Amino acid sequence: MKRLIRAVPFAAAGVLLAGSAPAQETCPGFRDMAEAAVPTAAGDREVMARLLGVKVGAQLSQSFDPATAEKAVGDHLHPDAGCRRAGAAPCFYRNRISGSVLHLKLPAGRATYLNPSRRFLGARGVDNPVTEAEAQRLALAGFAGFGVPAAEMGPPFVRALMAATQDAALKTKTQILKAEVHVNVQRHVEGTPVFASRLMAAVSAKDQIARLYVEWPDFSLLPGLSPAGTRPRPAVVESVVEKMGADNPCGSVAHVMAHIAYVPARLADPQEEDNGGAEGENAGAFVPALVVFAVPPEARDGEVQLGEEQFVVPLLTPPPR
Amino acid sequence: MRRMCSPRATAGLALWALALVAARPASAQLNVQAYSIDNFQGGQCGGGDRSWSEMLGNWYFGMTFFGFHNGTRFWVDGDFNRSLLCDPDTGLSDCKDYKYADSADAVMIGFHGGDSGKHWYGLMRKLAADGKDCNITAPDAPGNGQLFLGDVEAEFFHMSSCNSMNDNNMPNTWRFFEDPVDSPGNGRRLHQATGFHGMMGIGSGYDVDYLLFSMSAQFASIKDAWMDTMYHPEMANVKCPVAYAVGTSKNNCFTRIDHESYHNVYSDPSAINYYCYYYYDKCDPASQGPFTPPE
């Protein structure tokens, strides 16, 4: 029995940097799935050179302005004592009357606005009338007001959050209400997705932003990366196969999806994470890497459904330390 | 081995913690526990290995490190079987939830999960004492099931598990919010549970979701924080969070789920006459159809 108290345990990093030697032969089908999923661009030096040559404009830590953000969400927020505009320490802005807060952690790229006074109240039993188009307009204006670079915003995903209720004895029909409209945006740099960066805004019934999340670390590439360090595609495939084989019993993967993305260096290289983790020297540094999803088959009756496994495989050898 | 924080980061986070503690509303600290299984293949019940403890570790870290709440247990692998989660009033001699999952105010679990068609069940790492049962099973009718929470301590139960909040199970999910034997007498019940409709995802890309959830739920409602941070419409396989509560009436249920945060904890529901939940319209994950509330 391994009982852990107080300390936060972490399993072995979900990242594998395999050499080009073939992995121990694994389950039938795993290699074919990996071959089919790994894009042909993996192992292509020209593609890696292009990915390493991107230029970005002003980043969040430069473009964020508390006054503009405050205006974007229509709130009056005051910084806590000790907030230093130019400092890296986290900072809270608050409206002590409404209870709203704006948490900033720049340049880690995190800004979170929460206004509980704009929450949906299901007990009123009234639908939120805001349209998807209006919610999208408000959300995009909010993101812009927070200084998110427009060129890096992908297409928005707009979806209604619904509320439902029913009596436990099931004597009445389920009552359903439209609660909020949520807008999610993924990040791209010159057309390439940026992993684990995103925007989200919840629009309330009064056409106000109730909550807004910005996870948009300043973009820079990890120093020392070179197209010369491009891992051959067979080595990348081998890494995928090895990770699949290590974690998944035979027959427990239906298919594999993979795409190239800019990935925070700490997620693409376990050593990088050990050298400071999310808050380390290269917290804002990204590397081109392969984001992989091993999708289990749909469970049959009586079978447990295995969860989808996500892991990252390096496309470049890490720079020397 | 991953580390959560560098010393420099720790200093920064400590400042943050100080700011949060200074400003949060006066309320009791919660007792926080997490239970996850990473290594299934080394167990007795099958299943693929997943890095659940990394994700749950971020929630636990967010709840505990900043000094809000008391982290009292983080269980990973080992002899993880149903005894940590099942209630002794089932009559099963190995059930000790009063020492484990029902001994904390806020609990998060992370492991594979299935849907019987009427209820969720979770896959354990080790067999139960009877040598047969590899699952923890939620109830779907009077007299069955093993998971009955809230009669001891639990108020908030977060299920990082596939099928833990499937649409078809909504009419039965409330049944694990109380112990039919003890709750009527002691008045203790679970307040809220969160989970996923259909297949969920496990991996490093979700770690920040769990950290943001723990932070946001100190200020916003737990429901809002869960829904905001766990939804992934941009992925090929969409991830569909659901938040669920109970109450004495429809209004009581909505008031609870709309207002309760980790620092605004209501008294226990005195009865379960209504259930209410939030979901994304037609959210369509892998392994299940679009979320459709049962009539």
What does the pLDDT look like over B19-78, one tens digit per residue?
443 334 445 799 999 999 999 999 999 999 999 999 999 999 999 866 579 999 999 999
Is B14 domain-assigned?
no
Domain span holding position B103: 28-278
- This model of the complex carries an ipTM of 0.91
In this prediction, residue A302 carries a pLDDT of: 76
Query: Taking 70 as the threshold, does the pLDDT of residue A270 lie above it?
Result: no
Q: Which residue has the higher pLDDT, A53 or A23?
A: A53
Estimate to the nearest angstrom the gap between the alpha carbon of A158 and the chain centroid. Answer: 17
Provide the pLDDT confidence category of residue B294 given band limits of 50, 70 and 90. Answer: very high
For A79-128, what is each residue's pLDDT tens digit? 998 786 555 678 899 999 999 999 999 878 999 999 999 999 999 999 99
- pTM: predicted TM-score of the whole model, two decimal places: 0.91
Mean pLDDT score, A283-296: 93
Mean pLDDT score, A42-49: 98
The Cα of B160 is separated from the nearest Cα of chain A by a number of Å equal to: 10
In this prediction, residue A87 carries a pLDDT of: 59
In this prediction, residue A271 carries a pLDDT of: 56
Query: Taking 60 as the threshold, does the pLDDT of residue A23 lie above it?
Result: no
For A222-264, what is each residue's pLDDT tens digit? 999 999 999 999 999 999 999 999 999 999 999 999 999 999 9
Chain A CB contacts of B281 under 8 Å are 159-162, 178
Number of domains comprising chain B: 1
What are A100's two structure tokens?
């709203």
Interface contact flag, A90 B75, Cβ < 8 Å: no
Q: Is B281 on the interface with A (CB under 8 A)?
A: yes
Distance CA B7, CA A318 (A): 24
**Residue A285's closest CA among A216, A198, A217, A231?**
A217
Query: Taking 80 as the threshold, does the pLDDT of residue A59 lie above it?
Result: yes
Is B18 domain-assigned?
no
Mean pLDDT score, A29-45: 97
In this prediction, residue A274 carries a pLDDT of: 45
Q: Quickly count: other Cβ atoms within 10 Å of residue B132's Cβ.
A: 7
The residue in chain A having the minimum alpha-carbon distance to the alpha carbon of residue B81 is A1
Residue percentage of chain A with pLDDT more than 90:
78
Mean pLDDT score, A142-171: 98
Is B291 domain-assigned?
no
The Cα of B9 is separated from the nearest Cα of chain A by a number of Å equal to: 5
Query: Taking 90 as the threshold, does the pLDDT of residue A18 lie above it?
Result: no
In this prediction, residue B25 carries a pLDDT of: 42
In this prediction, residue A126 carries a pLDDT of: 97
CATH of the domain at B212: 3.40.50
Interface contact flag, A257 B275, Cβ < 8 Å: no
Q: What is the mean pLDDT of chain A?
A: 88
The Cα of A226 is separated from the nearest Cα of chain B by a number of Å equal to: 25
**Residue A104's closest CA among A127, A73, A80?**
A80
Strand bridging mode B201-203 / A308-314: parallel
Q: What is the DSSP letter of B264?
A: B
For B251-293, what is each residue's pLDDT tens digit? 999 999 999 999 999 999 999 999 999 999 999 999 999 999 9
In this prediction, residue B66 carries a pLDDT of: 62
Chain A CB contacts of B121 under 8 Å are 304
Across the interface, which of B200, B258, B286 has its CB nearest the CB of A121? B258
In this prediction, residue B19 carries a pLDDT of: 42
Query: Taking 70 as the threshold, does the pLDDT of residue A36 lie above it?
Result: yes
Is B120 domain-assigned?
yes
**Residue B106's closest CA among B24, B16, B35?**
B35
Query: Taking 60 as the threshold, does the pLDDT of residue B6 lie above it?
Result: no
Q: What is the number of CB-based contacts under 8 A between chain A and chain B?
A: 314
Query: Taking 60 as the threshold, does the pLDDT of residue B207 lie above it?
Result: yes
